[in-house]
Amino acid sequence: MLTGHQTWIFPNRPVIRSSAAVGGPYEAKGPLADDFSLLHGDLWVGQDSYEKAERKMMEEACELAIREAGMEKADIQFFLAGDLLNQITPSCFAARTVGVPFLGLYGACSTAMESLALAAQLVDSGAAQRVLCGTASHNAAIEKQFRYPTEYGSQKPPTAQWTVTGAGVAVLTHDGEGPRVTSATIGRIVDMGLSDPFNMGAAMAPAAVDTITAHMRDRAISLHDYDLIATGDLGRVGHPIAVDLLKKHNIDMPYERFTDCGILIYHPDQPQVLAGGSGCGCSATVTYGHILRRMRQGELRKVLIIATGALLSPLSFQQKESIPCIAHAVSIEFA
Amino acid sequence: MLTGHQTWIFPNRPVIRSSAAVGGPYEAKGPLADDFSLLHGDLWVGQDSYEKAERKMMEEACELAIREAGMEKADIQFFLAGDLLNQITPSCFAARTVGVPFLGLYGACSTAMESLALAAQLVDSGAAQRVLCGTASHNAAIEKQFRYPTEYGSQKPPTAQWTVTGAGVAVLTHDGEGPRVTSATIGRIVDMGLSDPFNMGAAMAPAAVDTITAHMRDRAISLHDYDLIATGDLGRVGHPIAVDLLKKHNIDMPYERFTDCGILIYHPDQPQVLAGGSGCGCSATVTYGHILRRMRQGELRKVLIIATGALLSPLSFQQKESIPCIAHAVSIEFA
């Protein structure tokens, strides 16, 4: 049900019946390692290309989530997924393995919440009873596609973020027990003219603030209702910019509960991660692993996840375009 | 409302309030030229890159459709779009121009019906009242991305298809007059092991047949109920393969009313088009231009469009993967 301008309220409160987060070697050394369902010791995941490794992790996350829900693949009615690789091939190949009706999505790193929002909408409206949704990213596959060949060993500025190697997936159902999706705010494109792909956090921060503001307006609620408010992957550069913008707009944000998945996933002193995590797998693994674990343990009751996405391509950057950004927010409650 | 395994029935029958098809120079020489809202005489569309030309055409189609619906951009609640270019940048940049909440999709050439199916689902369920949806492709942008630099002038086998330069967009509303979307069948991935990107029609034909069969099963209807059944872009090689497969499965298809958008859009003797049209813009422009025009003129009452998509990437091809294919079907009625 549409409320306000861009927010869906879900009166039937679809249930996140199960979820799974699969991670790689950098995530295994991070502070959230215990929240992953499965961790891989190397980037290859037993495959002969990084792209296949990403697909493998997505397939593993799907299998784990379906099994945890006590289901078989055939019980799933729709699979909603996307990722950062060209033509979202890891998602498409994983969809071949899952073998159910598939809706491919692309929202860059916002795909985690785009897929959850749409899956919840389908379940809430009765268009589905059991939906699998999720996303993935792979550090080396993304580096070679978006930046430089990994063999160059090129250096990056400290504003750059480190693409998460991981997949996060959830099974949504119309009944059963578990955290419930209560609303979703679909973001607009916000483009402040920034064009530096080594500083995505700064580019995406205004989109996050735009969607947070829309969520408050449409739902007419206070952000103090939430126990945790997490942006997707603004990182240590972008998140403070979002804080500044919120303050400038006089948004009454409980800043002590306002965090970012890209900050949470790595230790600040982990080598190479620079300004923090990014990639589709960032908010997906942090939400479906860490945050949902805390909800299931009763530590958090109501959360808002705002997954941010930078909708550039290497070619649009070369053609000197700025970076169009977007953010989708989903609220999850576990009473 | 989900009926059967993978089909949504839309009891509220969302209205295609307006639509627009923008085409390029090859489409202007084709038999459907008169059905386009706007045709461009050259591939550049006044831009300095083919990618920008594709974006421009998408923006034009959006503007024309919104204006034809008697609306302003601000009246649109959601924009659902995607395309074949890496990171669907033409859609993302067009979404920046439209300026409303955006859901990015990727289904290769099936995006035309993926976006229409999801838009109809949103309107039918009350999650939106006014949705813009569509897709685009550009011959030269796709050639350089998926095949060879255009300057090579490389030759192709006669099974190859010619990517349509065009954009097709529709405005869906919950009320008003116009053709109505009555159901949508979401496809599964079908991969028969084919891997030749110069013969996509053959690879996609089994996916089209799988979705047609699912549509009949889920709706428990005869295909003879339809005045026209059109696949998306199987072309002159793939469409006869679909016919063979349907016959093999004893599907009772009215073959005289079974056609393909990739066959319809060009004259068989147009230079270069080889096995026919393809690309996201193929089924989008043929549906939103030609087929809807025929419906509005009373020539067609019930149609079924089955947009097919080949979910490969240049990299997945280089890594010797086969081509996962998909097809989404949407039924449209105008009483």
Where do the domains of chain B lie? Answer: 2-173, 180-333
Report the C-alpha gap between B256 and B230 in whole angstroms: 11
* Chain B contact for A74 (CB, 8 A cutoff): no
A-chain CB neighbours of B105 within 8 Å are: 103-106
Is the CB of B125 less than 8 angstroms away from the CB of A129? Answer: no
Q: Does the pLDDT at position B271 exceed 90?
A: no
pLDDT in tens, B306-321: 999 999 999 999 999 9
SS3 state at B249: coil
Report the C-alpha gap between B304 and B201 in whole angstroms: 19
Q: What does the pLDDT read at residue A184?
A: 98
Of B1, B89, B316, Cβ closest to residue A316: B89
Report the C-alpha gap between B63 and B72 in whole angstroms: 9
* Chain B contact for A298 (CB, 8 A cutoff): no
* Residue A35 structure tokens: 């929240």
One pLDDT digit (tens) per residue for chain A, 335 residues = 888 899 999 999 999 999 999 999 999 999 999 999 999 999 999 999 999 999 999 999 999 999 999 999 999 999 999 999 999 999 999 999 999 999 999 999 999 999 999 999 999 999 999 999 999 999 999 988 987 777 777 888 999 999 999 999 999 999 999 999 999 999 999 999 999 988 999 999 999 999 999 999 999 999 999 999 999 999 999 999 999 999 999 999 999 999 999 999 999 999 889 999 999 999 999 999 999 999 999 999 999 999 999 999 999 999 999 999 999 999 999 98
**Whole-complex ipTM:** 0.97
Q: A180-333 architecture in CATH?
A: 3-Layer(aba) Sandwich (3.40)
Q: Does the pLDDT at position B119 exceed 80?
A: yes
Report the C-alpha gap between B78 and B101 in whole angstroms: 5
Minimum distance, in Å, between the CA of residue B90 and any CA atom of chain A:
9
Is the CB of A2 less than 8 angstroms away from the CB of B129? Answer: yes
DSSP string, B149-212: -GGG-----TT-BEE--EEEEEEEESSSSS-EEEEEEPPPPB--S---TT-HHHHHHHHHHHHH
Name the band, by pLDDT with cuts 50, 70 and 90, for residue B85.
very high
A-chain CB neighbours of B101 within 8 Å are: 5-6, 186-188
Name the band, by pLDDT with cuts 50, 70 and 90, for residue B147.
confident
Which A residues, 213 through 272, put their C-beta within 8 Å of a C-beta on chain B?
A: none
* Residue B55 structure tokens: 């974006």
Minimum distance, in Å, between the CA of residue B192 and any CA atom of chain A:
11
A-chain CB neighbours of B8 within 8 Å are: 127
Minimum distance, in Å, between the CA of residue A109 and any CA atom of chain B:
11
Q: What does the pLDDT read at residue B288?
A: 98
Report the C-alpha gap between B66 and B73 in whole angstroms: 7
Is the CB of B319 less than 8 angstroms away from the CB of A92? Answer: no
Q: Does the pLDDT at position B148 exceed 80?
A: no
Report the C-alpha gap between A160 and A275 in whole angstroms: 6
Report the C-alpha gap between A171 and A116 in whole angstroms: 10
Is the CB of B2 less than 8 angstroms away from the CB of A129? Answer: yes
Name the band, by pLDDT with cuts 50, 70 and 90, for residue B325.
very high
Which one-letter amino acid corresponds to residue A191?
A: D
Is the CB of A51 less than 8 angstroms away from the CB of B95? Answer: no
* pTM score of the predicted model: 0.98
* Chain A contact for B179 (CB, 8 A cutoff): no
* Residue A111 structure tokens: 């795909």
Is the CB of A126 less than 8 angstroms away from the CB of B125? Answer: yes
* Chain A contact for B58 (CB, 8 A cutoff): no
Q: What is the dihedral of CA A112, A114, A120, A126, to 10 degrees?
A: -140
Is the CB of B87 less than 8 angstroms away from the CB of A106? Answer: yes
Q: What does the pLDDT read at residue A150?
A: 73
Report the topology of domain A2-173: Peroxisomal Thiolase; Chain A, domain 1 (3.40.47)
Q: What is the mean pLDDT of residues B207-232?
A: 97
* Chain A contact for B194 (CB, 8 A cutoff): no
* Residue B46 structure tokens: 């006044």
8 Å CB contact between B317 and B335:
no
The DSSP bridge pattern shows strands A7-9 and A180-185 to be antiparallel
**Element housing A184 (H / E):** strand A180-185
State the DSSP code for A48: S
Q: Average pLDDT, whole number, for chain B?
A: 96
Nearest residue in B to A82, CA atom? B106
Which one-letter amino acid corresponds to residue A175?
A: D
Name the band, by pLDDT with cuts 50, 70 and 90, for residue B275.
very high
